Structure 1
């Protein structure tokens, strides 16, 4: 089981229904859902500095220590993460703070909640 979060740049306020529509399209692999932003790329680098991504070369021990249940997704427009349920509080709070510092929106689909910077 994972705790999922999405991060992207938004120039205006967004309600939960609009955020869900974007999130749904993003998780379907659509592009052009929102504009690419260097803030998103910077956030992605911050995430990987804080928590190693899962790759084909990840050892079993590294995978066991990782907060992720799958690789971190990044396409220039958004970052999508699947956090291991046992680490959700620790990691989600850190990522939300990092996103706020970069001026990014966080969407929490479990709670249908938009967290703006």
Structure 2
């Protein structure tokens, strides 16, 4: 079981509904299709690097990430973070704060809301 967040580079949506629509569009365009591989945008790469500097994504021993390496869940302007449920509260809080500090949007697809 995992807890998921989506983080993307773009203008902050006005509300949760707009964020949900933007998330759906980005997910379908960049993450759902295996046909077209789009390298992650530089700001997303920098974000993921900062995130895994604090919470390493060692494929053999990761207790934080449900799908390491994290960078493989990134495409274009979006990264989909899958956290182990037991670590989700701490890691998701840090991920949301780090996204805000870097001018990125953080969205919780389970609760369908922006993370402050």
TM-score where L is the length of structure 2:
0.76
Structure 1 residues 100 and 12 mapped into 2: Cα distance closer, same or farther (>3 Å)? closer
Match of 1:115 in 2: 115
Q: Distance in 2 between matches of 1:81 and 1:54?
A: 15
Unaligned runs of 5+ in 1: none
Tell me whether 9-18 or 22-31 shows the greater mean CA deviation.
22-31
Structure 1 residues 54 and 78 mapped into 2: Cα distance closer, same or farther (>3 Å)? farther
Q: Distance in 2 between matches of 1:22 and 1:104?
A: 14
CA contact (8 A) 2:10 2:105 kept: yes
1:12 Cα deviation after fit: 5.1
Match of 1:101 in 2: 101
Moved >3 Å (runs of 4+): 24-27, 29-33
